Amino acid sequence: MYQRIFSGLFFLMSLSTASAQNDPSTWSLLDSTSRYELGVNTFFAFDQLMDQHKRTPIELMFRKKIHEQNRIRLRVFGMLSRYKKIEADFTNIDGWSNVGLALGYEWIKPIARRWEGYYGLELEGSREHSRSFFEQPDLDPETNYLENTNKYDREIRFSLSPLAGLRFRLTSRLLLSTEFRLSGYMGEQQYTEDMAIRTNEEGSQNQIQSSEGYTVKLNGLRFKPYTGIFLNYRF
């Protein structure tokens, strides 16, 4: 999958470079007239294209120029999925959501006419929630009860990430960028599982038979060598 992506990007870069070799105004990535930059991570589009069973969160990046070679950045990402299947007395519902927000600062280092590097630091917070519900008739044929299992999984995580990346200028307004991050994170995960029965009648209430759960403290390091390719527009 990545070979196709990078082959396409290399082709775009070659065309863009060839068309602007004689235009000095496009030599510099630094643009004194633009203060803002809005980017979208294209990874989710390529992921869906290559494998329809994969789902990647949508991710947006907003940058604001503070000085000529310094930027503050705001990154927002999230995803929501839901699956529901009902057949006769069998019910299966699965839901998952993930949202996050990150605030960071960048230092820019020009490399060539159309290339620049950057490095920085980012603070991120995210929340993930999933629920799985399954209900089926009681195995005892002489009873008229439905058995169900309800599982909840919640996770809150905070991380601090040094980062470094590259940007390439396609046009005066459009840029491609990619980066890697080394994240030190901490957080908490809460898991709950309830098992219940209810009479097989419309509007009946669950009677909890058992309930268990646990809480886990999270901490560690995570290295992300590839975080996707952002298509950025500056204005």
Q: Which residues pair with 193 in a beta bridge?
A: 151, 212
pLDDT digits (tens, 9 = 90+) for 18-72: 444 444 344 355 566 789 999 999 876 655 555 544 556 789 999 999 988 899 9
Q: How far apart are CA 230 and CA 103, in angstroms?
A: 17
Rg of the chain's alpha carbons, rounded to an integer? 24
Q: Is 141 helix (H, G, I), strand (E, B) or coil?
A: coil
Residues 6+ away with beta carbon under 8 Å from 203: none
CA angle 107, 75, 165 (to 5 degrees): 40
- The more confidently predicted of residues 49 and 114 is 114
Q: Which residues pair with 40 in a beta bridge?
A: 60, 231
**Pairing relation of β-strands 145-169 and 115-137?**
antiparallel
Amino acid 141: pLDDT = 67
CA distances from residue 50 to 6, 12, 68, 81, 199 in whole angstroms, order as listed: 14, 20, 39, 19, 45
- The rounded Cα 232 to chain-centroid distance in angstroms is 17
**What is the average pLDDT value for the chain, to the nearest integer?**
84
Pick the closest to residue 110 from 167, 163, 157, 47 (CA basis). Answer: 167
Burial class (CB in 10 A: 0-12, 13-18, 19+), 159: buried
| 31 touches 232 (CB < 8 A) | no
Give the global pTM.
0.76
Pick the closest to residue 99 from 129, 73, 77, 81 (CA basis). Answer: 77
Tokens representing 117? 């590097």
Across 216-232, average pLDDT: 94
